[in-house]
């Protein structure tokens, strides 16, 4: 089942009754709305005048619904997740924490290879075939000691958008603002899946900055980035104004959890595919598998 994503950008009062999310608009003459909580995967709260009851927060967390809040720049800045995301959480933590350095290096090698392969496939789909990316995807070594991930990313973005002076930079010119927003949503999807698989999102296989509470999310989301890039590319090609992240643009980007991807030979919504990825990652930590399942860009 595809979980729904709700976005609230105006003053709203959110509560719960009969296992439903109840939506009231105190400043607008709109009818009260109700949505089954079990249908929700993500709730994005942008307006600072949104009020939620504690009873609703409890039910959302119990349903493993990711509650995302935004900052003054309207970018996602926090994620609420349950303390207990899996019945075997304690033993799963132990297997994750006990993972050997060689295993982590191998897992990062798989991750970088999958990311570069998907970047190459995206450019090829756009008629911008790159032999370099395909070659680099086959040259990634254990732990990516030659830093192919960064080299490929720089080349990929130099050739992706037909925009003079564009480079990938969080504070750079549009569509960097769209990419920032899309990647933040993708990061929340990854963190939600990691917690649901009974692992710690702060303990990565490659990313390990002590100030980063979502290091593992930053790892496993890498091969999924080209799906965000493809969505942003389509928005850019539509010719709309990119200077401001309007509600319409955010609505397009909030489609990310439901995007169709191919994983293990089957079509799946991206958020479901991410759960398959994190479950396969735990299998690697446990020792029952040596391969992470990542989507293949088509």
Ligand-binding site membership of 149 (annotated):
yes
Task: Look at residue 31 and tell me whether its pLDDT is greater than 90.
Answer: no
Domain edge (last residue) among 26, 54, 80? 80
Q: Are residues 234 and 148 in the same domain?
A: yes
Query: Taking a C-beta distance cutoff of 8 angstroms, is the pair 96, 89 a contact?
Result: no
Task: Look at residue 72 and tell me whether its pLDDT is greater than 90.
Answer: no
Conformation bin of residue 80: beta by default, left when phi > 0, alpha when psi is -120 to 50: beta
Res 54: pLDDT: 96
Task: Look at residue 1 and tell me whether its pLDDT is greater than 80.
Answer: no
Domain edge (last residue) among 80, 109, 137? 80
**Domain around 37:** 4-80
Domain edge (last residue) among 63, 80, 97? 80
Res 192: pLDDT: 92
d(CA 232, CA 226): 10
Q: Are residues 13 and 45 in the same domain?
A: yes
Q: What share of the chain is helix, strand, coil (3-state, %, to 5)?
A: 45, 15, 40
Least confident of 94-98, 133-137, 164-168: 164-168
Q: Are residues 36 and 62 in the same domain?
A: yes
Q: Are residues 179 and 280 in the same domain?
A: yes
Residue 98: CATH number of its domain? 1.20.120.920
Q: Are residues 127 and 51 in the same domain?
A: no
Residue 46: CATH number of its domain? 3.100.10.20
Ligand-binding site membership of 32 (annotated):
no
Ligand-binding site membership of 29 (annotated):
no
Q: What pTM does this model have?
A: 0.91
Q: Are residues 93 and 229 in the same domain?
A: yes
77 pLDDT tier (thresholds 50, 70, 90) = confident
Tell me: the pLDDT tens digits for 45-59? 999 999 999 999 999
Query: Taking a C-beta distance cutoff of 8 angstroms, is the pair 21, 8 a contact?
Result: no
Q: Are residues 55 and 155 in the same domain?
A: no
Give the residue-averaged pLDDT of 232-260: 95
pLDDT, averaged across the chain: 94
Q: Are residues 62 and 195 in the same domain?
A: no
202-234 burial string, b = 16+ CB within 10 Å, else e? Answer: bbbbbbeeeeeebbbbbbbbbbbbbbbbbbbbe
Q: How many domains does one find in the chain? A: 2
d(CA 61, CA 91): 22
Q: Are residues 67 and 168 in the same domain?
A: no
239 pLDDT tier (thresholds 50, 70, 90) = very high
Helices (H), the chain: 54-62, 89-97, 101-125, 131-137, 148-160, 176-196, 215-220, 225-237, 247-253, 270-286
Residue 6: burial class (beta carbons within 10 Å; 0-12, 13-18, 19+) = middle
Q: Are residues 68 and 93 in the same domain?
A: no
Instruction: State whether the Cα torsion 72-52-191-227 is positive or negative.
Output: negative
């Amino acid at each position: 089942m595809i979980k729904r994503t709700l976005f609230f950008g105006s003053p709203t009062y959110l509560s719960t009754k009969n296992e439903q999310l109840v939506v009231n608009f105190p400043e607008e003459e709109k009818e009260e709305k109700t949505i089954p909580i079990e249908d929700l995967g993500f709730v994005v709260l942008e307006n600072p005048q949104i009020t939620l009851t504690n009873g609703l927060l409890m039910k959302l967390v119990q349903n493993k619904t990711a509650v995302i809040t935004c900052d003054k720049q309207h970018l996602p800045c926090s994620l609420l997740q349950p303390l207990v995301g899996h019945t075997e959480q304690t033993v799963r933590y132990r297997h994750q924490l006990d993972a050997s350095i060689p295993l982590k290096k191998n897992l990062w090698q798989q991750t970088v290879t999958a990311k570069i392969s998907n970047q190459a496939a995206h450019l090829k789909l756009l008629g911008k075939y790159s032999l370099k990316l395909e070659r680099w995807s086959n040259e990634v070594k254990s732990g990516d000691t030659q830093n192919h991930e960064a080299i490929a990313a720089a080349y990929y973005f130099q050739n992706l958008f037909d925009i003079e002076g564009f480079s990938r930079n969080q504070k750079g010119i549009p569509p960097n603002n769209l990419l920032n927003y899309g990647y933040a949503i993708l990061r929340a999807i990854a963190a939600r899946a990691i917690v649901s698989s009974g692992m710690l999102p702060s303990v990565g296989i490659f990313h390990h900055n002590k100030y980063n509470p979502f290091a593992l999310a930053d790892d496993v989301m890498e091969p999924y980035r080209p799906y965000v890039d493809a969505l942003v590319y389509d928005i850019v090609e539509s010719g709309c104004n990119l200077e401001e992240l309007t509600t319409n643009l955010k609505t397009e980007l909030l489609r990310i959890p439901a995007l169709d991807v191919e994983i293990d030979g089957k079509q799946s919504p991206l958020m479901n595919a991410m759960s398959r990825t994190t479950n396969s990652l735990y299998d690697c930590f446990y020792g029952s598998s040596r391969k992470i399942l990542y989507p293949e860009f088509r």
